[in-house]
Amino acid sequence: EAEVAQSPRYKITEKSQAVAFWCDPISGHATLYWYRQILGQGPELLVQFQDESVVDDSQLPKDRFSAERLKGVDSTLKIQPAELGDSAMYLCASSLSLGLGEETQYFGPGTRLLVL
């Protein structure tokens, strides 16, 4: 069964350092999402892509976060510089298309980030 791949699974960094997370969606899925999940809460959308274009990044803290999906397949989420409050699980998801709310999103295993 096709899955969303993410790496690394765990990342420990010191504040003010740069970190990057990678995601490879299910083959053929045009839409890719990055979510942040703080411990004890539900995931919150950071950014979504349709192919290589950003559809919505209104919740992405653009002063320190950036995301790209250059060839419309895999994607990278970067934080620079990392802050203590960035400690969370970063989840990547993909869906077949953008749709109008009906598309099912399939999630990867996530990257657990700890900022010291």
Return d(Cα 42, Cα 64) in angstroms, integer.
22
Nearest to 44 by CA among 32, 36, 52, 55: 36
SS3 85: helix
Our CB check for another protein shows the closer of 86 and 108 to be: 108
Quickly count: other Cβ atoms within 10 Å of residue 71's Cβ: 9
Give the nearest distance from C-beta 91 to another protein in angstroms: 7
When binding is defined by CB under 8 A, the residue of 41, 51, 83, 114 that contacts another protein is: 41
Q: Which is nearer to another protein, 18 or 55 (CB)?
A: 55
Distance of CA 35 to the CA centre of its chain: 5
24 is an interface residue for another protein by CB under 8 A: no
10 Å CB burial of residue 75 (0-12, 13-18, 19+) is buried
Instruction: Based on the shown chain and the rule CB under 8 A, indicate whether residue 43 belongs to the binding site for another protein.
Output: yes
Binding part of the chain for another protein, among 17-25, 37-45, 62-70, 73-81 by CB under 8 A, reads 37-45
Contact residues: another protein, CB under 8 A? 31, 33, 40-45, 48, 50, 55-56, 58, 89, 91, 93, 95, 98-110, 112
